[in-house]
Structure 1
Amino acid sequence: MGVKVAWPSFSTELRDFIAFIRRPNLRRLPGRSARRGWLEDWFTHLDFARLLKWAGLLWLMNMVVLGPIAVAAAGAGGAEHRLRLDALPWLQALVWAPIVEELVFRYGLRMPGHALWLVPVSVFALLSGPQWGSAFLVGLVVLACWWPYLFRSSAAPKPLPWGLRKTYRRYFGVVVHLSCLLFAAVHLGNFSYNETPLWLLPFLVLPQWVTGLALAWLRVRRGIGAAMVLHGIFNGGPLLVIWLVISWLPPQ
């Protein structure tokens, strides 16, 4: 029997996350191995209790610090959120965005070779939106990621040449922070700007930037599956609050 490895405490993970922001690295959490990398990357380490703690921390940061800054920036510049209260995007927030955005911005952090073909296809799906055609395309992308492992195919991805891997590790921090900035920038499309000055725009997406950092850390340490699940939980919390408020309001 193998020795059961205890997962780090939440406080230990939090300290590691802060260190990761300062200097990103490709280290896994204790308990993750490279031998069953595909299975662990997608399915194994889905600790829902721990993911709820991370979601709670991100919600708290957004309510207390980041959200008020974003609201103040929107008010100062006249920007308005495009969210329609009469048509809350449940499917897009809970399923589509967690899968597609994680494929675009974070899957390649551990699979830079895959990113060369996966990111362009996923970006096309992201820009097309949640339609049947783009959903089918995303399904093909995920199947392509799984295929060599599910069917023992000889087309299993080969590791990058050693020289490229060394270069990637050297600039990994740049890749991580650039991916988080791009992730935040994409969410600028959620706003109507009116006459908002350009210097205010970064403040509108501070919550998405910090969330992107947490998701990048989680993707590297636990896997892409955990990042997708946390992404969905994080998106679902505010929508649930909005739905409850609307439900409790007296009819006009």
Structure 2
Amino acid sequence: MIIDNAVIYILQKPSIYKALHESNRLLAEQLGQFQFIAIVVVGPLIEELVFRLPLNGKRSFLGFSLSLAFFLLGGFYSLGSAQLDHKLSVGIITSLVFYFFLMLFFSKKRFTEQNRDSYIKLLFYVSTVLFALSHISNFKPLQYSLIWLYPVYVLPQFIMGVGFAFARMRYGFGWAILLHMLVNTPFTIINYL
């Protein structure tokens, strides 16, 4: 809140938090009665598949996670398209090609037991940072002149990402998903009311 006040009063820019609340309101309107399921169930499941699944060091899980991220970032899933079947087909095929390319790149020789731990540590931190930065997309419209401040606004997501990653490493993938769902629940209920 202090940073947002500085944005408003010192930098003479519109509130970034107001943009977040407006973006959440529009999302709630678009999702309607499916808001709770989308934010509490589907969102955490997809985010955990992308950001936490590969934290066990298996290259197939890393390949799947990166392919899913490629599919989502490519916009192949966008609803409202007249050619949704075509976009989904193209998205699935390109994601599969991307997956097999990754499996070739991350050969078994590169993923040995000796270097597995260093990969996992790197993945832990990279996935946590990317998880937090991916939440910048919640602030619409972006104020590009203030893009350097957005990482501060997603600091809570970074801290939660560390917790989710820790739960994934310590207790398993299912617990990370459950924890993520539990964290999203109160915010969705408050936003729904």
Q: 1:195 to 1:108 in 2, by over 3 A?
A: closer
2:45 is the alignment partner of 1:104? no
Deviations 1:30-77 (A, max 9, x none): xxxxxxxxxxxxxxxxxxxxxxxxxxxxxxxxxxxxxx4675576565
**How far apart are the structure 2 equivalents of 1:130 and 1:190?**
17
**How far apart are the structure 2 equivalents of 1:130 and 1:92?**
15
2:190 is the alignment partner of 1:222? no
Choose which of 25, 44, 47 in structure 2 pairs with 1:84: 25
2:186 is the alignment partner of 1:237? yes
Higher RCO, 1 or 2 (CA under 8 Å, sep at least 6)? Answer: 1
Aligned ranges for residues 113-192 of structure 1 at < 5 Å? 113-127=59-73, 128=75, 164-191=112-139, 192=141
Alpha carbons 1:187, 1:205 under 8 Å: kept: yes
Greater displacement, 231-240 / 110-119: 110-119
Alpha carbons 2:131, 2:158 under 8 Å: kept: yes
**How far apart are the structure 2 equivalents of 1:73 and 1:232?**
32
Alpha carbons 1:107, 1:115 under 8 Å: kept: yes
Alpha carbons 1:100, 1:125 under 8 Å: kept: no
> 1:198: which partner in 2?
147
2:40 is the alignment partner of 1:94? yes
Alpha carbons 2:167, 2:176 under 8 Å: kept: yes
Runs of 4+ in 1 over 6 A off after TM superposition: none
> 1:212: which partner in 2?
161
**How far apart are the structure 2 equivalents of 1:164 and 1:226?**
27
**How far apart are the structure 1 equivalents of 2:7 and 2:42?**
26
Under a length normalisation based on structure 1, what TM-score does the superposition of the two structures give? 0.52
Under a length normalisation based on structure 2, what TM-score does the superposition of the two structures give? 0.66
**How far apart are the structure 1 equivalents of 2:53 and 2:131?**
13
Deviations 1:77-117 (A, max 9, x none): 53311211652632221122111110111000014322343
Letter in 1 for 2:39: A
Query: Cα RMSD (Å) of the superposition?
Result: 3.0
Aligned ranges for residues 19-30 of structure 1 at < 5 Å? none
**How far apart are the structure 1 equivalents of 2:6 and 2:64?**
35
Q: How many residues were matched structurally?
A: 154
User: Which structure has more helix as a fraction of its residues?
Assistant: 2
3-state SS of paired residue (2:25): coil
Q: Percent of aligned pairs with the same residue? A: 29
**How far apart are the structure 1 equivalents of 2:116 and 2:156?**
28
Letter in 2 for 1:220: M
Letter in 1 for 2:24: L
**How far apart are the structure 2 equivalents of 1:106 and 1:223?**
10
Unaligned runs of 5+ in 1: 1-67, 142-159, 245-252
Alpha carbons 2:40, 2:184 under 8 Å: kept: yes
Letter in 2 for 1:210: I
Q: 1:163 to 1:91 in 2, by over 3 A?
A: closer
Unaligned runs of 5+ in 2: 97-107
